[in-house]
Amino acid sequence: KNEVEQSPQNLTAQEGEFITINCSYSVGISALHWLQQHPGGGIVSLFMLSSGKKKHGRLIATINIQEKHSSLHITASHPRDSAVYICAGGSQGNLIFGKGTKLSVKP
């Protein structure tokens, strides 16, 4: 069983929809990272959080330490948001990655 689980695995949305991607982890972590991987492969760090909530533009990330759960929200989704979103927990010096959520936003 993967120690970091994401849901859903695949998500298709219409432009403008509000999107939520979930991440649950079973290990103790010191920080939770959200990453974005575009077609073509490049991986970009979106957020790193250890408590509460962070917002950057249309992206919002939240974490509940007690419930070992984090969510990534995208408001007013756009086709350029189409990518794979990956969460990863920092544990014992390294990151444990989820398998990713593939998001496709249709115009």
As measured in angstroms, the least distance from the Cβ of 52 to other proteins is 13
Site string for other proteins, 26-65 (x = CB under 8 A): ----xx-x-x-----xxxxx--x-x---------------
Question: Does 95 sit near other proteins (CB under 8 A)?
Answer: yes
C-alpha closest to that of 83 among 33, 13, 4, 18? 13
Q: What angle do CA 26, 12, 57 make, to 5 degrees?
A: 75
As measured in angstroms, the least distance from the Cβ of 40 to other proteins is 9
Q: Which two tokens stand for residue 101?
A: 């959520």
Question: Does 101 sit near other proteins (CB under 8 A)?
Answer: no
* Phi, then psi, of 26 in degrees rounded to 5: -110, 0
Question: Does 88 sit near other proteins (CB under 8 A)?
Answer: yes
Nearer to other proteins, 83 or 98 (CB): 98
For tokens 């909530």, name the residue: 53
Nearer to other proteins, 11 or 96 (CB): 96
Distance CA(86)–CA(6), nearest Å, equals 8
DSSP assignment letter at 51: S
Helix (H, G, I), strand (E, B) or coil at 80: helix
Q: Which residues bind other proteins (CB under 8 A)?
A: 2, 4, 30-31, 33, 35, 41-45, 48, 50, 86, 88, 90-100
